[in-house]
């Protein structure tokens, strides 16, 4: 249970780091891209998206934690399904549509 709460706290903390705009170096694709590629992207949009993504994942993780803590295993499994769906959807959304390019 303690480990699950630590994971939840870490996701929330990452959300606040991205929300402050200081966590761009933690994004592997952004961190390893060239200077010209970084200049093409809007760091504020990318930071806000990653913050929202971390908060959604933290919410899903909270459902998992509560489900298993109170003994309602179907709620925990539903939370895992939500977490997986959110992770896949967030990854697809982030990598399609050129959402983070400067206009």
Q: Report the pLDDT averaged over residues 22-37.
A: 88
Q: Is residue 101 part of a domain?
A: no
DSSP 71-101: T-HHHHHHHHHHHHHHHHHHHHHHHSTTTTB
Q: Is residue 22 part of a domain?
A: yes
Q: Is residue 103 part of a domain?
A: no
Please give the tally of structural domains in the chain: 1
pLDDT in tens, 58-71: 999 999 999 999 99
Q: Is residue 67 part of a domain?
A: yes
φ, ψ for residue 72, nearest 5 deg: -100, 85
pLDDT at position 90 = 96
Range of 90's domain? 2-95
Residue 98: pLDDT band with limits 50, 70, 90 = confident
Percent of the chain with pLDDT over 70: 100
pLDDT at position 29 = 84
Measured between alpha carbons, how far is residue 65 from residues 1, 19, 62, 77, 103 in Å? 7, 24, 5, 10, 41
Percent of the chain with pLDDT over 90: 74
What tokens appear for 5 in the block? 């709460």
């Amino acid at each position: 249970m303690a480990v699950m709460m630590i994971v939840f706290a870490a996701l929330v903390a990452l959300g606040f780091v991205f929300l402050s705009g200081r966590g761009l170096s933690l994004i592997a694709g952004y961190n390893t891209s060239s200077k010209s590629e970084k200049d093409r992207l809007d760091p504020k949009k990318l930071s806000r998206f990653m913050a929202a993504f971390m908060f959604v994942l933290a919410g899903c993780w909270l459902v998992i934690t509560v489900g298993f803590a109170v003994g309602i295993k179907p709620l925990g499994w539903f939370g895992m399904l939500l977490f997986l769906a959110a992770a896949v959807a967030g990854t697809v959304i982030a990598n399609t549509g050129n959402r983070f390019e400067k206009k």
